[in-house]
Amino acid sequence: MIILPYLEHSPQIGSRVEAHPAAAVIGRTRLGSGCTLGELTLLRADGEDVRIGVDCWFGEASTVHIADALYPAIVGSRVTVGRFALVHACTVGDDCVIGEHAAVMDGSVLGAGSVIAAESVVPPGKTLEGGWLYAGAPARPVERISGALIEHLHRAMRGGSGREGPHIFAAARAPRLRHAAGFGVKRIFAEGAYVAPTASIAGHVVLAARSSVWFGVEIDAGEARVEIGEQTNVQDNSRLYAGKPGEDVRIGPRVVIGHNVRIFASTIEEGAIIGMGAIIGKGTVVRAGACVAAGSITEPGTEVASGQVWSGRPARAARVLSDRNRAEFARAVQVYVGYSENYLAGAAHLLGTP
């Protein structure tokens, strides 16, 4: 696995950890013994702590991250996290199972023995009682769940056999990486752009100054172009896919693309935000300063109006963007600009370059 310091912090990793070579553990992470990290699993503790207990299992392209200077990510022991799932700045109790493509968000708390169904979203600040199955976006209690069934779900997810346990497997899985980590042809990266070491970039891709592409991201321009504006960030384990000639992905300046997002040929204008785990359908236009909420899905050809929050599956107008939202989005842009500068400086230090 890739082990990276961040500023003065280096990860602390227990014994008997099994990890794919493309998994990454960063900064203020404390990882307990007996854990398993899948391909492109990311444990990223750059602006707060990540603390993980013993005997935890993380599937392919799962992400654990923090909220900078606000919330750590704390995961108990014997927790199972499915493919493309996101554990973000929250607390997860012992013996929980988090299904594929699910998202547990900032400041939320999962009681011991909680099960989060595939493709579900636990909103920020929610406290969920242990021993229940939760499903939906937002996640709501569905039924009490026995210890025997929880044990079965752990085994099914970790064993990967027969896709038993329908609560935890996604109906339609995200594609595996089309390309190995690294760069294809026709890339144009401006000064100060940051690309993480496990990112994959192929085709005609343009990164503007101080933009950033994070761990496990795949950008494939196909026969078209992908353009990413100044100070825009594409967060960990997201996927950007252009298509045939003219089917570009165009993302303006100061846009925030959350973790584990999927974006197809579309246009996202200045200052917009795409929430964690969202899917942006082909031909979508997200106007300046608009927001597609976490876990939402836009239908092909959708136009998300400026200054509005759209949510749901399919996404529809939900409310007007608040002043607080605008301030949070602006802060997120600056936090990632700062991250980029620190990672670039750290890489230069490791290479011994000025």
For 104-124, what is the mean pLDDT? Answer: 96
Mean pLDDT, the chain, rounded, equals: 92
| In this structure, CATH architecture of domain 2-159 | 3 Solenoid (2.160)
For 327-341, what is the mean pLDDT? Answer: 93
pLDDT at 186: 59
Per CATH, the homologous superfamily of domain 182-345 is: Hexapeptide repeat proteins (2.160.10.10)
Domain boundaries of the chain, sorted by first residue: 2-159, 182-345
The answer to whether residue 348 scores a pLDDT higher than 80 is no
For 294-313, what is the mean pLDDT? Answer: 95
Q: What is the pLDDT of residues 192-226, one digit of tens each?
A: 899 999 999 999 999 999 999 999 999 999 999 99
pLDDT at 92: 98
- Percent over 90 (pLDDT), the chain: 84
pTM for the model: 0.92
Q: What is the pLDDT of residues 240-275, one digit of tens each?
A: 999 999 999 999 999 999 999 999 999 999 999 999
For 176-183, what is the mean pLDDT? Answer: 58
**Does residue 187 or residue 308 have the better pLDDT?**
308
Q: Examine domains 2-159 and 182-345 and report if their fold is the same.
A: yes
Give the model's confidence band at 354: pLDDT under 50 very low, under 70 low, under 90 confident, else very high: very low
Q: What is the pLDDT of residues 42-68, one digit of tens each?
A: 999 998 999 999 999 999 999 999 999
Q: What is the pLDDT of residues 95-106, one digit of tens each?
A: 999 999 999 999
pLDDT at 282: 96
DSSP-derived pairing of the beta strands 140-144 and 132-135: antiparallel
Give the model's confidence band at 163: pLDDT under 50 very low, under 70 low, under 90 confident, else very high: low
The answer to whether residue 165 scores a pLDDT higher than 80 is no
For 267-287, what is the mean pLDDT? Answer: 96
